[in-house]
Amino acid sequence: MKKIFLLSLFTLLLYPLSGASENADPEVLAKKGTRNYTGVYPDHVKTVAVITPASYPAPKAFNEGLALLRAAGLNVKVYPHATVKPEGVENNYYASIPVELRVKDFEAAWNDMENDMIICARGGIGTEDLVANINWEKLPRRPELYVLGYSDVTMLLCAMHVKGYGRPLAGPTVNSHPGLSKAIIPQMKKMLHGEEVKIKLAPLRSGDCSGGVVAGLIHRYTRVVKAGYGLDNTGKIVIIESVGRNAEKITADLNELLAAGFFKGAVAVVFGQITRTKDSAKNIDAALKAFTEKVDIPVYRNFPFGHSDKNLVIDFSRPACIKGGTIVFPAVKP
């Protein structure tokens, strides 16, 4: 096993951050009042590790997110390189530190058996490099270990899902916690506690189905395909969100995924939040409808997942069904 060098014995504490733009980071959501996550995470989750797998997190939201987790009674360990400020971050909010340092934190957090969950500080750009440099063969599989994140973290969640490591959760990063909708937090609690979750969808092509679930960012799914992860969506409900893409780019991404066989064997496609498009709703609608005509499975939209305050946690280990335009995650043991 690789030696893990920590900065010092007690550096797993909160480092105040500075020097990154809050508004530029699409995972930083407008804060409307206070949030309370007490009881939201499963009872057996006592200790949470926080790592930065890719880009440097915006400081204010990061520190507020940590405070919310601690206020919920969680023991929060911030790993040493999670808060190391990369060069040029003032001019590039996607800047990240060298991948070797990010890998050290990830492997240290994974190998620390006290940790019940890893929550990513932020996505951004760089998780693909992290995944490529992890020494997977020397890590225990830890099927009970939750890993939570979205956006660029799609790369890590998909790799874990394919390789059979940990328990992937698509959902809010630390930076997104302060701005989540109050209405979504009870649903988040239900998902994490194994209770039934029901969400009404808007149909593009109606149809009932059931299967496993994967969820991620559209232009990270294309990277998953190019990187050769071998993600097999047979029997899956595929949930897709998008940020910063206009209709033309969304169409190009979907066509690329179609050509790669990404949807082969899938039982449904469900679009989540489509944000920061800089395009008209009419054009986005047309792009989604054009995609629907190219597949022969049910297609829905308006699932609360993505770069908005409606960002529900999605547990890849939980099956779901769609019936009468409602997606249902049946109750399971957490």
* Residue ranges of the chain that CATH labels 3.40.50.10740: 47-180
Q: Output the CATH code of domain 47-180.
A: 3.40.50.10740
Superfamily of segment(s) 197-329: LD-carboxypeptidase A C-terminal domain-like (3.50.30.60)
Distances 87 to 71, 199, 213 between C-alpha atoms, Å: 32, 43, 38
- Backbone dihedral region of 205: left (phi > 0), alpha (psi from -120 to 50 degrees) or beta? beta
In this model, does residue 6 exceed pLDDT 70? no
In this model, does residue 33 exceed pLDDT 90? no
Residue 147 is predicted with a pLDDT of 99
Q: Which residues pair with 300 in a beta bridge?
A: 203, 270
pLDDT tens for 111-124 read 999 999 999 999 99
Residue 23 is predicted with a pLDDT of 53
How is the beta sheet containing 167-170 ordered, strand by strand? 75-78, 47-51, 117-120, 146-149, 167-170, 314-315
In this model, does residue 49 exceed pLDDT 70? yes
Mean pLDDT confidence for 208-235? 97
Mean pLDDT confidence for 132-147? 98
* Residue ranges of the chain that CATH labels 3.50.30.60: 197-329
Mean pLDDT confidence for 288-313? 98
In this model, does residue 317 exceed pLDDT 50? yes
pLDDT band at 17 (very low <50, low <70, confident <90, very high): very low
Mean pLDDT of the chain: 93
In this model, does residue 39 exceed pLDDT 90? yes
pTM of the model: 0.92
Q: Quick one: tokens of 25?
A: 């980071």
In this model, does residue 1 exceed pLDDT 70? no
Within 10 angstroms of residue 165's Cβ, the number of other Cβ atoms is 20
pLDDT tens for 231-278 read 999 999 999 999 999 999 999 999 999 999 999 999 999 999 999 998
**Best CA proximity match to 119, nearest among 196, 33, 27:** 27
Mean pLDDT confidence for 196-201? 98
